[in-house]
Amino acid sequence: MWVLMYVFSYSVSPAATNDRAEWRLLPTVVFQEFSNEERCRAAKSALERSLGDAGAKLRSGLEDLKTIGKADPTQIIIAYNVECLPK
């Protein structure tokens, strides 16, 4: 049995907002079991591609907002980690 563990978090620079509650959100952790390593690694690969694509779209949108003076992409930090672990 294998477990796919996915951890996602983001934080906002204190310079971007005065609301301290928005500075750091608690990470989201998700687990899913797989019957073998190959299936787990396939799911891991698909999830990493999806997260990478989502991050690129977010970055692009923030860059568009930056050009009109409404956002600064450097103020937001997004992190994720995806692992396949034997159970």
What global pTM score does this model have? Answer: 0.67
Tell me: the pLDDT tens digits for 28-70?
Answer: 788 889 999 999 999 999 988 888 888 888 778 878 877 887 7
* Distance (Å, whole) CA 16 – CA 53: 24
Which helix (H) or strand (E) segment is 44 a member of? Answer: helix 37-67
* Distance (Å, whole) CA 46 – CA 30: 15
Q: How many CB atoms lie within 10 A of CB 2?
A: 19
Q: Please tell me the predicted confidence (pLDDT) of residue 14.
A: 62
